[in-house]
Structure formats: structure tokens, C-alpha cells
Amino acid sequence: MKVQDFKTFIELQALQPFTNKNHTNMPSSQSIFQDMLSELVSGDTLDGASQRLGSLLSTVETEANSILQSRDAASMVPNTPVSPAPAGREMSETGSNYDEIISQAATLYKLPEKLIKSVIKQESNFDPKAVSYAGAAGLMQLMPATARSLGVNDATDPEQNIMGGSKYLSQMMARYDGNIQLALAAYNAGPGNVDKYNGIPPFKETKNYVQSVYGTFLS
């Protein structure tokens, strides 16, 4: 065995922990090293040791290239940010974080607290950032024009939204003499349609809305 080959092999020994760490199928360089020393001590020919060294050099080179390629590929994978959970989703069942605001609105506008909660659950499932395809926003899904008429500057603000939506709901309750189902129909389809059809409009969406909200209120 040439001195240079033996020097190279010693250097490879230092790399052994890195190559064998992730590639369990790679032959152990420590085992080969021990075999080569045994051959040298026993006086066997140096050709066998050289052949073993050549085999190890080839294997290590292949493994090293594989590791480098894997690292290069990994470095090219973009970091994907994790989107935070939408605000309000964690209280979709009860909306307990809004109890105080709802209680204040119920007292101010003389509405049952449960009715306000039932409307909020149906409209946004207690998500203050919810926005419909039509542009209705916030917990009680106020349309921009309606929000402005109610003095709501930011429909995504829970307090403004609940106060504004409760005010509008109380107006509908007063308009229809406390009839909750008609008030809900007007909240969904507008009082003009309720007046036009002299009752709950024959719209599938409005019928389902009234049934769902009223059912939640009575439960």
C-alpha cells in the first residue's frame, strides 16, 4: 500500500461518522480499516489492502455526492408560512368572549340575548372578520350602506358590529310588532320584501334563514 493511499484512508476515517450516520447500508470503514491492518500485520500482500481501500474510496465518494445532492435539493424548497387560524373560530359554539357586549346590546335595544347570539351564529359563526360574497361584514354581517346608516364605522369591530346589528334587529322587531320570524325575514331579505309579500318572502334562502335562526333561538 502506498503511503499516500494510507494517508487518504486515515482522512476518510474522520469522515466516517458523517457518512454512516445517514446511510446505514454503507460498509463500515472501521471494519475495513481493521481488516487492512490485520493483512499488513500478518504479512499478506498489499494488493488486497489497496483493493479494499479503492473500494472504500469509491463508496464514500458516491455517498458524499448523494448527501450533497440531497442537501442542495432541500435548500431549494421554499418556506411555506403557516396561516394563523381565523379570529373568532375558537368561540364559534357559544361566543362567550362577546357575552358582555351582547348583554349591553340586549339591554339597550330590549332584545333577548339569545336572539342576538342566534343571529350572530347564523350570520358569521362568531367570526368578526367574516365577509360575504355580497360585501356584508362582521359578526352580524352588516352591508356597507346599512352599517353607515347605523353609525358603524368599522363593521369588523365586534362592539360596533353587535351594537349596530342589534339596533337594526330591534328596528325590525318594532316594525313588525315583535314578530320574531318577520323581523328575522326582514333582517335577511330586507323589510321591502317582507312588506311586498306580506310575510316571509318565498325565497329559499330567507325561509331557511328564518327556520335556522328561530330554531336556534328556541333551543
Q: Which positions are catalytic?
A: 123
Three-point CA angle 140, 162, 129, nearest 5°? 55
User: Long-range pairs for 85-89 at CB < 8 Å and ≥24 separation?
Assistant: 86/127, 86/129, 87/127, 87/128, 87/129, 88/124, 88/125, 88/126, 88/127, 88/128, 88/129, 88/130, 88/139, 89/125, 89/126, 89/127
Which residues have a Cβ under 8 Å from the Cβ of 117 and sit 6 or more positions away? 95, 102
The C-alpha atoms of residue 165 and residue 111 are separated, in whole angstroms, by 11
The rounded radius of gyration (Å) of the Cα atoms in the chain is 37
Give the chain's end-to-end CA distance (angstroms, integer): 90
Chain centroid to Cα 126, Å, comes to 17
Sign of CA dihedral 183, 187, 188, 191: positive
18: helix, strand or coil: helix
Q: In the numeric block, which cell numbers belong to residue 185?
A: 325575514
